[in-house]
Structure 1
Amino acid sequence: MATEQIITQVNDIFKDVLENDDIVLTPATTAADVEEWDSLNHIQLIVAIEKKFSIRFTTAEIYTWKNIGDMCAMIAQKTQK
């Protein structure tokens, strides 16, 4: 799956979980860029992403992400297995 497709699907998840239709994610987007993206919502976002893509992240993998690009690269890697 192409990174653009993954970002589009992740963006839809963010809009749904954070209840904000104005969110526009880019590979450089971080939690600091999205007002509603706090630690509690982070967990809900991870669960929703895992469910959508039928994958699981380890805590160590999650801690390596610096931005949406890192998250989407991990999703791409896991969905190709």
Structure 2
Amino acid sequence: MELHDRLEEVFRQVFDNEALTLTNEMTAPDIEGWDSVAHINLMFGIEQAFGVRFKGNELAEMKNIGELKQFLIGKGAG
């Protein structure tokens, strides 16, 4: 499964939305239900799915989904 598909699956689970389709330009306000609790769940979900660790506010500082993908690729998760 490609990185994009794996990431989309994590987002669908966290936000309980099977119809959620990610694009590289998407940001938190684009996704219904992305609040502080969902952010923590998303962070842990991504860490578990990809075997990575976020430092501090790293995930929140990313501009969009595309930047998150680049982070994952840089960590060897791609």
Alpha-carbon separation, structure 1, partners of 2:52 and 2:61: 17
TM-fit CA distance, 1:8: 1.3
**Quick one: distance in 2 between partners of 1:60 and 1:12?**
22
Number of matched residues? 76
| Cα displacement string for residues 6-44 of structure 1 (whole angstroms, at most 9, x for unaligned residues) | 221111011111111110001101111111211110110
| Stretch moving more, 43-52 or 62-71 | 62-71
TM-score of the two chains, using structure 1 as the length reference: 0.84
| Cα RMSD after superposing both structures | 1.4
**For structure 2, which runs of at least 5 residues remain unmatched after alignment?**
none
Identity within the alignment, %: 34
Alignment partner, residue 31 of structure 1:
28
More relative contact order in 1 or in 2 (CA 8 Å, sep 6+)?
A: 1
What is the TM-score with the length of structure 2 in the denominator? 0.87
After TM superposition, where is structure 1 displaced by more than 6 Å over at least 4 residues in a row?
Answer: none
- The offset of 1:64, in angstroms, is 2.9
Quick check: which one's helix share is greater?
1
Matching of residue 62 in structure 1 with residue 54 in structure 2: no
1:49 alignment partner in structure 2: 46
* CA separation of 1:63 and 1:32: change in aligned 2, threshold 3 A: closer
**Unaligned regions of 5+ residues in structure 1, if any?**
none
Give the Cα separation in 1 of the matches to 2:9 and 2:59.
Answer: 20
Q: How does 1:5-24 map to 2 (within 5 A)?
A: 5-24=2-21
